[in-house]
Structure formats: structure tokens, C-alpha cells
Amino acid sequence: MALRRESPFTLSFILITVLLDMVGLGIILPVLPSLLESLTGAEVAGAAKIGGYLVFIYALMQFLFSPVLGNLSDRFGRRPVLLLSLIGLTTDYAIMSIAPSIAYLFIGRMIAGISGAAVSTATAYMADITPREKRAQRFGLIGAAFGLGFIIGPIVGGVLGEISVRAPFMVAAGLAFANFLFGLIILPESLPKTRRRRFDIKRANPFGALLAFKSYPAVLWLIAALFLFVLAGQSYPSVWNFFTIEKFGWTSSQIGISLAAFGILFALTQGFLVGPVVKRFGEAMAILAGMIAACIAFLGVSLIHTPIGLYGYLIVGAFSGLAAPAISGLMSRLVPDNSQGELQGAVNAGNSLSAILGPIIATQLFAFFTTSDGAPIYFPGAPFMAAAFMVLASGILFYVTFFRFDLMHAKPVAHDPHAPDIAKPGEIAIPPHNGSERPEDPADEEDEALELKKSAPKPPL
């Protein structure tokens, strides 16, 4: 079934893939403690410790493999990478549904981390099929899919967990495999063979992916600003439950309702506000609005004394969802189309690194300012205050970069580059083929010749 790249089914597949990745992560949260206790015989504290290691290994695999999958998608196309990632997720959930020991859970989480790294490829696919001026809006839809998955996952996991502690994993495996079949039938390739580039193992790692953009200093600084912003956001999932229990004595249902409310508002912001705001005011103003909202929310939460006020700051914090898609949209205009996968791989690696460091920083700050005798004051809101300063640093870094490189007037890189390696900004050229120059990959030349042959008009009979 041949579909256009811009088909609604294509867009649906990409969003469902991102949604399933987040649902799969959240669906196990309600039942993971019981599963770990049943496999180890440990108490809740011991199970929590093992659960922390599982989260760490998942984030570590995403950090290491996001650039690999991004680079592979730039060489071989987005479609095979996305489909293989869904097979990987199906395998992970199947393993966890029958795991007889903890070792199997770690194997499953490693596979899930590698497969989940394909979110960068899904984002690159979205960039391929979207006009440059609409990319921030489409990236907002991806953020909304993340937020919706964060809402759906724990709810579904909790309901299915009442049936069986392993039922959520079985359902997640079925959903992932169903989406694989859906993509196998309807998903076209978004990156033509004539716009691909060589795979370079030196660039297929978190640090190599960053060094590959040394010709794009503005992109490197924007990635750093985005990293600080995402790192600040890790305070919510890391210590929100501990903070609300310590501060207000909330129950698990109250915590779940508050997180669901924030997730819904955040998803609505990214799904419906990013596009209109960027179109009306531009990316810089959208980023400014998102960062101001984040700062106000983090400062307010850190100092709040009433639950009602807490919900007020959650509403303000939901508008922080404007910033990240706008930054991603801005960066996507500064690199060639044959490096979108590499760019999103580098971005996703940074996000994964924040998922590794964020929980450690937030939980340690919370523990120090609530239980340590060495703490100067009792201050449960310390992680959120620190997050506010991270956002402030991110905002300063962004605006220094924005004006230093005059991004307001920067011309987008050519829409249809044909270079095997990243060129300098605005200088996308086809390398000459003569004896003094190194020819392109023969496979690329053959692919291009074949496509030209297919597109040539046939002579009349």
C-alpha cells in the first residue's frame, strides 16, 4: 500500500510510535515494585533500589544508542530503523512478561533503551515530511504524544496490574507489535536515497555526534541550552511524589491526579499552542515564554505552602512546553536534511543524559535538605529551586547564542542537500567527481542512477 510521505496515516504512525514508547515506560511503574518483590523477595526499599538501576540502564542505553540509530537512519533511511525499533520494544515487553529472574528484566530494559532511542529517528522522519516553517508545530505534536503517553501508561498499568502483575507487559507487547504491522503496511520511506550520506562510526556516539556539528557552533550551543532546560524538567518525575508527601502528606491517588493534570495541560500546550505561537511571534518569543513559565513554576513550587497554590503553579508550568519544540524547530533549520537523523540523535542523547543525571541531582538535593543534619535549613523545595536556576542558565545561554549568531536573520540550509558529510552553514554543494576528488559512495551513485532511470519518460511505441 503506497502512501505519500505526508499522508495522515504516516503522521499517525510516527505519533503512535512515540506514544507507545512513553506508554511502555509508564505502564510498568505501578506494577514494577510488585514484580521486583516477587522475583527477589526483597522489601519495598530493596525493590526500589533495583528499580533505580533498571531506570539507569534504560537511560544509559538511550544515551549511547541514540546517535547510532540517528546516523543509521541518515544512511539507510528512517523506515527500517523505526520498524526494527518496534520489534525491539515488542521483544522487551515479551521478555518482561515471562521473566523468571531479575537478569531477564535487565536484558529487557537494555533492549527497550536501545529501541526507544529510535525516537530520534521518528523526530527526523517528522522533519523530513514537514516544511521548515511548520517543524516547531510538528515537534510540538511529538511532545504532546510524550505527555499523553505519560498520562496513559501509569493508568493502564495500574488497571491491568489488578488482573495480573505481568498483564501490562503482555498488552504493551501486543500494542508494539500491532504498530509494527501497521508501519510495515503503510509507512513509506521519507529520506530518498539521493539525500543520504555515509555512515561514520566515529560520529555514531554521543560525543562524536556533537563533534560532527563543530561547523555549526550555534547548533552546539542550542543543544547545550536544551540540555539544561530538559535537565531542570527532570525534577518533576524524580521528586514530585516525595516532595508532596513531605510537604502536604498526599496519598498516592492525589499524587497521580496532580501528575495527570500536569501531563494533560503540558500535552495540550505542545499539541495546540506551539504552532500558533511560533507562527505569530516566532521561535525566539515562544522559547522566551516557555522559559519564563518554567522559572515561575519552579520558584513557586519550591516556596509554596498550600495545595491550591501548587496546582496554580502547575498550570503555569504547563506553558513551559512551548520552549523545547521551538528550540528543536530552530535547530532543524540550521543543518542539512541528510543530517536530521544525526541532529535528533544528538538531541536525544542529551535528553537521555539528563534522565541519568537529573534524578540523582534532584533526589540528593531533596534528601540533603530534608534529612541531613548538615543542611543549613529545612527546605524540601530545594530541587525545584535548583531547577529554576538551571532554566535561567538555559535562557541566558540561548539568548547569547541567538544574538551572537544572528539566528533571527540566518538563512535555512539548502532544502535538498546532496553531500555525504556536513557542510558549513549555507554552503551545501555537490562535490565534483574528478580524479582529484574522492568520489561518493558507489552505492549512492547506483541508487541515484536507478531512480533517474525509473523517472525517465518512456519512448512512444
Domain residue extents for the chain: 1-190, 209-412
The answer to whether domain 1-190 and domain 209-412 are alike in fold is: yes
Nearest CA among 260, 410, 233, 221 for reference residue 323: 233
Reported confidence tier of residue 388, pLDDT bands at 50, 70, 90: very high
pLDDT at 425: 36
Q: What's the pTM value of the predicted model, to 2 decimals?
A: 0.66
Q: Reduced to 3 states, what is the DSSP secondary structure of residue 27?
A: coil
Give me the DSSP letters along 101-151. SHHHHHHHHHHHHHHHTTHHHHHHHHHHHS-GGGHHHHHHHHHHHHHHHHH
Q: Which residue has the higher pLDDT, 255 or 243?
A: 243
Q: How many CB atoms lie within 10 A of CB 400?
A: 12
Beta strands of 210-308 (E only): which ranges?
A: none
| Per-residue pLDDT at 323 exceeds 90 | yes
pLDDT at 30 (0 to 100): 66
pLDDT in tens, 51-87: 767 877 888 888 888 778 878 888 888 899 889 988 9
Comparing 368 with 435, the larger pLDDT belongs to 368
Q: Which residue has the higher pLDDT, 177 or 62?
A: 177
Mean pLDDT along residues 390-406? 94
Q: How confident is the model at residue 431 (pLDDT cuts 50, 70, 90)?
A: very low
pLDDT digits (tens, 9 = 90+) for 95-107: 988 989 889 989 9
Residue 414 pLDDT level (bands cut at 50, 70, 90): very low
- Answer for the pair 85, 116: CB distance below 8 angstroms, yes or no: yes
pLDDT computed for residue 398 by the predictor: 96
The CATH number given to 1-190 is 1.20.1250.20
Question: Which tens digit of pLDDT belongs to each residue from 116-149?
Answer: 766 778 888 888 888 877 887 788 888 788 778 8
Question: How many Å apart are CA 438 and CA 58, to the nearest integer?
Answer: 40
Taking a C-beta distance cutoff of 8 angstroms, is the pair 419, 428 a contact? yes
Which of 46-60, 333-347, 412-426 comes out lowest in average pLDDT?
Answer: 412-426
Tens digits of per-residue pLDDT, 338-357? 777 778 777 877 887 888 88
pLDDT of residue 433: 42
pLDDT at 233: 92
The cell numbers describing 134, all together, are 511548520
Q: Which three cell numbers stand for residue 349?
A: 542523547
Write the CATH number of the domain with boundaries 209-412.
1.20.1250.20
In this predicted structure, what is the pLDDT of residue 324?
92
Convert the pLDDT of each residue in 180-235 to its tens digit: 898 888 888 888 887 887 877 776 677 776 777 777 889 999 999 999 999 999 88
Could you give the percent of the chain with pLDDT greater than 70? 82
Residue 440's pLDDT band (cuts 50, 70, 90): very low
Q: How far are the Cα atoms of 210, 224, 334, 425, 430 from residue 412, in angstroms, in the given order?
A: 20, 21, 6, 8, 17
Cell of 355: 534522565
CA 220, distance to chain mean position in Å, is: 17
Cell of 411: 538563512
Q: Which of 21-35, 213-227, 249-263, 402-416 has the highest mean pLDDT?
A: 213-227
